[in-house]
């Protein structure tokens, strides 16, 4: 029997669960209260099933799998584009946010004496590539810190006004450590006035808080897939503005990012043109049906729930935690003004370790770093469960 005549092994299309039954969509948690979606999403049953089905399907490499990885890539690209500007051509698939941000750093013009603006303490995936690029070009980094009482938006606006050679600002929408939100309406307007490029790391917001691409007009925006997009590790995305879909410089030159024509030939002296749009930034190694199937299933569920509904539902959970902490006399540990899905508790420094241990002892999982307990629920957590955090901490009041 020829290969073409073999029936393809199907990877089933993942089912979605309605918002009213969202908790049922996740793999059972038992007694654990997992509040660390900012580190790694709790797993959806559909994502687990899609990964297992794809693993089965690829166990016999001589059989065709349906959909094929190129078909999966285009499905994922189209789904991701719904979180940006609706144009599948604008989305590249990359292995990490750091890879996407380094691609942006490699593409944007920068010269000796220019400045690149970042926040103090922003996630290293959105710092290290700029340090490298500045070292290579003779440009310098401007790290924004806050004065007391100032919010991040005002601190950024002051730095923008104060930096004459500012060329690029590379920022988050939501901070990874405490959920602080930047007002990108105001920041992007100030940057545009000065013709400064905007790069965004949306890893802690995409899938919950929507970016306003039309209004902010960023040059590039990257996100991991394994947090709020509920997908797989090792599969992230990079959105590129139309001008960079034509002129951006990929870091890696992989054959899937090039159009080799129908007979897949690569001539020595005439480089194959780039594939269309942001596909020029697609990286190798992502022809993996397992990660692709998981990413498609996760994103399918996020889109079915719709990010504004997810944000509202997660806002009820963090709101319930504020109420419970207020009632327990622990309101001094919290601050308002964070994103609906991500917040941090800041105990007095002498008791941070004990507070962290108390949460662990109560089966509550979150990240403790830099003196903060970061709280990041997804919809597997019931609103009523959030009081467990205040109960576990009440003896510190
Ligand atoms: C803001 C932010 N960016 C990026 C990442 C991780 O990105 P990468 O895919 O480069 O590991 C994280 C992970 O915690 C993050 O919080």
Q: Do 118 and 130 form a contact (C-beta atoms < 8 A)?
A: yes
CB-ligand 1 contact for 125 (6 Å cutoff): yes
In the structure encoding, which two tokens stand for residue 205, read together?
A: 């917001």
| Distance spanning both ends of the chain, measured CA to CA | 73
Alpha-carbon separation of residue 67 from 11, 53, 74 (angstroms): 7, 12, 10
How long a stretch of residues is the chain? 397
Sheet of 367-369, strands arranged across: 343-345, 372-375, 367-369
Output the pLDDT for position 213: 98
User: Which residue lies with its CA nearest to atom 11 of ligand 1?
Assistant: 96
Please tell me whether the peptide bond between 67 and the residue prior to it is cis, using omega within 30 degrees of 0: yes
Domains of the chain: 69-304 (3.40.640.10), 307-396 (3.90.1150.10)
User: Which residue lies with its CA nearest to atom 7 of ligand 1?
Assistant: 97
Q: Do 296 and 322 form a contact (C-beta atoms < 8 A)?
A: no
In a 13 Å sphere around the CA of 41, the CA atoms on its Cβ side amount to 32
* H/E segment holding residue 29: none
19 class by beta-carbon count within 10 Å (0-12 exposed, 13-18 middle, 19+ buried): middle
Helix residue ranges, H only, 44-174: 45-57, 69-81, 97-107, 128-137, 152-162
Q: Do 318 and 340 form a contact (C-beta atoms < 8 A)?
A: yes
Q: Do 203 and 222 form a contact (C-beta atoms < 8 A)?
A: yes
CB-ligand 1 contact for 98 (6 Å cutoff): yes
Q: How far, in Å, from the CA of 311 to the mean position of ligand 1?
A: 20
Atom of ligand 1 nearest to the CA of 95: 9
CB-ligand 1 contact for 96 (6 Å cutoff): yes
Alpha-carbon separation of residue 37 from 12, 43, 61, 222, 284 (angstroms): 26, 10, 34, 18, 27
pLDDT tens track, the chain, 397 positions: 344 445 677 766 778 999 999 999 999 889 999 999 999 999 999 999 999 999 999 999 898 888 999 999 999 999 999 999 999 999 999 999 999 999 999 999 999 999 999 999 999 999 999 999 999 999 999 999 999 889 999 999 999 999 999 999 999 999 999 999 999 999 999 999 999 999 999 999 999 999 999 999 999 999 999 999 999 999 999 999 999 999 999 999 999 999 988 899 999 999 999 999 999 999 999 989 999 999 999 999 999 999 999 999 999 999 999 999 999 999 999 988 899 999 999 999 999 999 999 999 999 999 999 999 999 999 999 999 999 999 999 999 9
- Count of helices and strands (H, E) across the chain: 12, 14
CB-ligand 1 contact for 172 (6 Å cutoff): yes
In the structure encoding, which two tokens stand for residue 86, read together?
A: 């609706």
In the structure encoding, which two tokens stand for residue 56, read together?
A: 């089965």
């Amino acid at each position: 029997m020829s290969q073409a005549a073999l029936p393809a092994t199907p990877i089933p299309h993942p089912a979605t669960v309605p918002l009213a039954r969202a908790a049922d969509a996740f793999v059972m948690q038992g007694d654990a209260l997992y509040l660390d979606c900012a580190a790694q999403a709790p797993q959806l049953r559909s994502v687990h099933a899609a990964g297992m089905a794809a693993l089965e399907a690829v166990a016999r490499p001589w059989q065709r799998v349906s959909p094929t990885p190129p078909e999966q890539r285009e499905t994922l690209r189209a789904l991701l584009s719904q979180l940006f500007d609706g144009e599948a051509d604008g989305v590249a698939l990359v292995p990490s946010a750091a890879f996407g941000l380094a691609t942006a750093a490699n593409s944007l013009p920068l010269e000796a004496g220019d400045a690149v603006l970042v926040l103090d303490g922003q996630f290293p995936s959105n710092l290290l590539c700029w340090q490298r690029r500045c070292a290579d070009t003779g440009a310098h980094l401007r790290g924004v810190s806050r004065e007391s009482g100032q919010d991040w938006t005002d601190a950024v606006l002051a730095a923008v006004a104060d930096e004459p050679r500012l060329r690029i600002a590379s920022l988050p929408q939501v901070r990874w450590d405490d959920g602080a939100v930047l007002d990108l309406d105001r920041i992007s307007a100030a940057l545009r006035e000065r013709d400064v490029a905007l790069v965004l790391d949306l890893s802690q917001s995409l899938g919950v808080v929507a970016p306003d691409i039309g209004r902010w007009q960023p040059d590039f925006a990257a996100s991991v897939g394994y947090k709020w997009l509920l997908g797989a590790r090792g599969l992230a995305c990079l959105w590129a503005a139309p001008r960079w879909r034509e002129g951006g410089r990929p870091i890696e030159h992989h054959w899937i990012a090039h159009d080799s024509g129908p007979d897949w030939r690569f001539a020595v002296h005439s480089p194959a043109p780039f594939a269309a749009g942001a596909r020029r930034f697609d990286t190798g190694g992502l022809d993996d049906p397992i990660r692709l199937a998981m990413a498609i299933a996760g994103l399918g569920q996020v889109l079915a729930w719709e990010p504004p509904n997810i944000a509202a539902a997660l806002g009820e959970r963090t709101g319930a935690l504020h109420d419970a902490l207020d009632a327990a006399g622990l309101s001094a540990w919290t601050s308002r003004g964070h994103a609906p899905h991500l917040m941090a508790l800041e105990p007095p420094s002498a008791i941070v370790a004990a507070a962290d241990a108390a949460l662990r002892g109560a089966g509550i999982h979150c990240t403790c770093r830099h003196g903060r307990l970061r709280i990041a629920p997804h919809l597997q957590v019931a609103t009523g469960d959030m009081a467990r955090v205040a109960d576990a901490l009440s003896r510190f009041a």
